[in-house]
Amino acid sequence: MCEKPALKPLPMESTEEVKIYLFSQSMFMPKNITQLLEKFDYSQQVPKFIIYNNELTGILSRSDAALLLLLNHFGIDIVIYNPPGHNDIENYLYESLYDKHWLDEVVFELEYKEPSILKKVLFQGILKNLRGD
């Protein structure tokens, strides 16, 4: 990750400074993420991080992008949902590192509707058949 940095440099920042920044950020991985990685059974399936970035708790920072880059180097698939459609990871990583998909239609303040009794019974029956009950 540090040898070939994929993090965009800040204005007036050298490649060497980007490498040092990535190394220093990798040394401060949050404890809860380290614990999740230790518990995960990599031989069974590929770990996935799904981030719902609605920007209510702030925007994605450069240090967040460095952490996501490190996790991706560990083999973790990362999905970022960004309903507002603003740039987040694009501000920090080169475009060749990620795929971008746009939704055709976005609906805001959609009310939750309970499924009908018929759909509930049908769905529960399908689940029972899949489980072998």
Q: How far apart are CA 7 and CA 94, in angstroms?
A: 7
Asked if residue 25 is part of any domain, the answer here is yes
Number of structural domains in the chain:
1
pLDDT score of 17? 92
Domain of 37, in residue numbers: 15-131
Classify residue 98 as exposed, middle or buried by CB count within 10 Å of its CB (0-12, 13-18, 19+). Answer: middle
Q: How far apart are CA 76 and CA 47, in angstroms?
A: 5
Asked if residue 6 is part of any domain, the answer here is no
Asked if residue 62 is part of any domain, the answer here is yes
Asked if residue 3 is part of any domain, the answer here is no
pLDDT, tens digit, for every residue of 84-98? Answer: 777 888 888 888 888
Give all strands (DSSP E) within the chain, no chain letters: 48-52, 77-81
pLDDT, tens digit, for every residue of 22-38? Answer: 999 888 888 888 888 88
Asked if residue 124 is part of any domain, the answer here is yes
Averaged over 40-48, what is the pLDDT? 79
Asked if residue 2 is part of any domain, the answer here is no
Write down the mean pLDDT value for the chain.
81
**pLDDT tier at 123, thresholds 50, 70, 90:** low
Asked if residue 50 is part of any domain, the answer here is yes
Q: How far apart are CA 84 and CA 121, in angstroms?
A: 36
Asked if residue 7 is part of any domain, the answer here is no
Q: Which residue has the higher pLDDT, 95 or 121?
A: 95
59 contacts: CB under 8 Å, gap ≥ 6: 86, 88
Q: Which residue has the higher pLDDT, 109 or 71?
A: 71
pLDDT, tens digit, for every residue of 57-80? Answer: 778 888 988 999 988 888 888 888
pLDDT score of 74? 86
pLDDT score of 105? 74
